[in-house]
Amino acid sequence: MTGSKLVIFIDDIDRLRERNDLLQIFKLVKLSGRFKKTMYVLSFDPIEVNGILNPNGSTDSSFLEKIIQAQISLPPAGKESIDRYLYFSTEDGHVSEIDKLFRNLKIDRKRIEDFEKDFNTIYVRQLSKLFLTLRRAKLYLNGLYQRLPSVKEEVNLQDFLILEAIRVFYPEVYRDMTEYRWFYLPSWGEAAFITFPFEINSRGKEAYALIKDHIEKLVKKQEKQDVLLELLQFLFFEVRKAISAELIGHSGLETDYRRQKRLSHPEVFWKYFTLSVPAKELPDQAVESLIDSWNGFERDALTEDFGNQVQKFRKMKQMTELWQKLLLFMPKITLETSRTLIEYLFNNMHHFRKADNEVFRDSEYSAAVRLLFVLIDNKLPPEEIGVVLRDIVQGTPSFELAIRIVDYVRSRNGDLFNIREQGNFDALSTVLGLRLTAHFIEGSRNIFNEESRYGYILAQWGTFSSQDNLKINDYVMGLVKEDHTIIGKILVVYTNNRGDSIGIRIRREDLVQLYDEKKLYELAKHYSDSSYSNDHEKKAVETFISQYEERRRTATLEITQQSNKQKFMNANSQGLQLFKKGEYELALQEFNQALGITDWNDENHWIPQVRLEKWRTLLELAIKSEGEIRKQYLSTAQKITSNEMEIQELFNAAYPTGADQAPQELYCCIFYYLQWDAVPAEEKDAMRNIFEVHFSIATSQGTSGHSHEIMTRCGELAAKIRQ
């Protein structure tokens, strides 16, 4: 190379973001630039480099001038050129880099068309503002080439491309999404609901205020804040709701968002960041490809492949998830494939495994049932649905499935409108009732041994008609006589465990709809020691017997109390009638009889009224008597109430809402007259003074209940006490 010139090109120097790295490059150029016939061509953005080298004025601003001998400024690429390069293909044959990427990845044309519907707008209005230089466009494109291929079938294209722009140009925001995902995602799914903070899960105004505050603080630290905020609102509807304060619900869109593989669905979210499908998850692509292949099969080949796929996915322990994802991507399934799949499902439902408790988790069986129901309701023409339902009820080996069909049609609830409308309960229940009778009753088979969900089957079958109910009771009671442990099997189905404070309870309201409770109790009592086969059944039998006997005791007590109450009311009524007639001795006997009756519920506070009537009766008897007899009546009355405070309490207890005052004051006058008559001479003035107070009130025209009779009687007493 003697005599030759050496030209060294160093490109993209400004991509070195560390100050020390830049200084080393420029020092190297400065030192080696002294070599003869050696030339350096450096490519960089001087503004970017100066910003890194001189963030706080720590480096001489003329530093670059001492190294660079000739500066050549290249004109920036035009905005239209960048957009054309990156995204917009043209009819003249130009293909954008993003379209090239999609072609290389063999993205389906339909997906690209769906992608372009919304992405065109978001690109023109927002994303394009981030690509001010060709370098930034290439930086973004490099990220897409590296990251999209591994998850191209597992993500939504428009969401992925927008998220990639945020990753490249807003790395802090990108990290925030993973660290504080509850500010971005809805609380869909059990995992999200459990892991998200409580105050966010509430999804009320306070929760959205927290989301808004978090997002606004984060965005405020970024460049092109308006662009970033629009992108976040496009990707995450929870952010949009928080920013706009329009709390529009999205609960009905959960399945659609999952089917579209949107970033905002918690089940898909992590795929965008890990660029992979979780190890134990069945990939969406596998199910969609399977559906595509099925849609091209003939009927017989399709049925055979269903069986092969079931065995394959069961070995992989992904059978339940297969049914779940077939339901998710059901819109892709054609009508012919749906018909064959429906037939396969109801003919093989008895082979699918059930979970111990399907309330809390899905099983092969429960997921297959749900798929079957939705396929019938959503895929079949209405005129076919009734026929298919009858075929299932008449032909499926799974009695539980047949029962579920009839139960759903009868309930008239749920969102499967077509099944409810096209299903005929009377016809279906008749067909199934005859089938169950032939198999279990006429065939002398034990349903408790053959069916794991025997309780559900019997409960539905027994309520088809009154004849079915009688038939089942005779059938089950006959089985009990042969196998006493069936009692425990019956009762354990109707138990609820409500915690330590209440414990096990029998759902009697459900039990009595099917069984003769009295007969079942007699059998449980008679065979109590042999009526169960495990501890759960034993507890159920003990609880049933205990609750039945407690209800019987309660019923006996209620009858006794009702009888005692009636006796009390009769005695009180007789006493009041006799009192009005002036037959006070007989009235006193009735009031004493009433007060002697106990063990009844005095919810209307009648006992205090009878005590008051007895007190009044004793005063009437005393005023009409003389000597020792008067003293005896007065003494008995004083045991009820003996002073002003007790008298007031007696009146208040008898009439808590108030009563006419004049009649009350009359008996106060009688009481204190009798007291005045009985006390020694030195106490008479005190009694007379109290009498006068009550006399004044009793005879006042303004006192409620004032009457001529009360005036006369009080006047007679006053005449005697004032002598």
Residue 501 reports pLDDT greater than 50: no
pLDDT band at 500 (very low <50, low <70, confident <90, very high): very low
Q: Is 588 left (phi over 0), alpha (psi -120 to 50) or beta?
A: alpha
Q: Which residue has the higher pLDDT, 47 or 326?
A: 326
State which H helix or E strand residue 30 sits in.
helix 19-32
319-375 confidence digits (pLDDT tens): 999 999 999 999 999 999 999 999 999 999 999 998 765 444 689 999 999 999 999
pLDDT score of 112: 95
pLDDT score of 357: 56
- Between CA 479 and CA 194 the distance in angstroms is 46
C-alpha 135, offset from chain centre: 51
Residue 12 reports pLDDT greater than 70: yes
Q: Which of 244-258, 351-365, 604-618 has the highest mean pLDDT?
A: 604-618
pLDDT score of 11: 85
Which residue, 310, 22, 15, 328, is CA-closest to 154?
328
- Between CA 722 and CA 720 the distance in angstroms is 6
- Between CA 138 and CA 505 the distance in angstroms is 69
Q: Is 37 left (phi over 0), alpha (psi -120 to 50) or beta?
A: left
Which region among 39-48, 435-444, 632-641 has the lowest average model confidence (pLDDT)?
Answer: 39-48
Asked whether the CA dihedral 10, 11, 17, 19 is positive or negative, the reply is positive
Phi, psi at 247, each rounded to 5°? -85, 65
120-131 confidence digits (pLDDT tens): 999 999 999 999
Radius of gyration for the alpha carbons in the chain, expressed in angstroms and rounded: 46
Which residue, 191, 194, 200, 279, is CA-closest to 242?
200
Residue 480 reports pLDDT greater than 80: yes
Residue with tokens 């006192």: 703
Crossing angle between the packed helical segments 319-328 and 284-294, to the nearest 10 degrees: 70
Tokens of 721: 């006490």
Which region among 2-16, 401-415, 708-722 has the lowest average model confidence (pLDDT)?
Answer: 2-16
Enumerate the β-bridge partners of residue 405: none
Can you tell me whether residue 196 is helix, strand or coil?
coil
Give the contacts of 239 (CB within 8 A, at least 6 positions apart).
183, 184, 211, 215, 232, 233
- Between CA 535 and CA 552 the distance in angstroms is 26
Tokens of 45: 């953005």
Can you tell me whether residue 329 is helix, strand or coil?
coil
Residue 387 in contact with residue 353, Cβ under 8 Å?
no
Domain boundaries, the chain: 6-66, 79-274, 345-527, 619-721
State which H helix or E strand residue 39 sits in.
strand 38-42
Give the contacts of 469 (CB within 8 A, at least 6 positions apart).
462, 463, 514
pLDDT score of 228: 96
8-state DSSP, 415? S
Instruction: Give mean pLDDT, residues 93-111.
Output: 95
Classify strands 6-10 and 495-497 as parallel, antiparallel or unpaired.
Answer: unpaired
Enumerate the β-bridge partners of residue 6: 38
Q: Which residue has the higher pLDDT, 513 or 64?
A: 513
- Between CA 377 and CA 420 the distance in angstroms is 9
Residue 205 in contact with residue 247, Cβ under 8 Å?
yes
Tokens of 136: 């930034």
Residue 48 in contact with residue 19, Cβ under 8 Å?
no
Which region among 52-56, 187-191, 256-260, 334-338 has the lowest average model confidence (pLDDT)?
Answer: 52-56
**Average pLDDT taken over every residue of the chain:** 91
pLDDT score of 659: 87
Enumerate the β-bridge partners of residue 643: none
Tokens of 131: 């690509």
pLDDT score of 58: 52
Give the contacts of 245 (CB within 8 A, at least 6 positions apart).
208
Residue 487 reports pLDDT greater than 50: yes
- Between CA 611 and CA 206 the distance in angstroms is 59
pLDDT band at 206 (very low <50, low <70, confident <90, very high): confident
pLDDT band at 29 (very low <50, low <70, confident <90, very high): confident
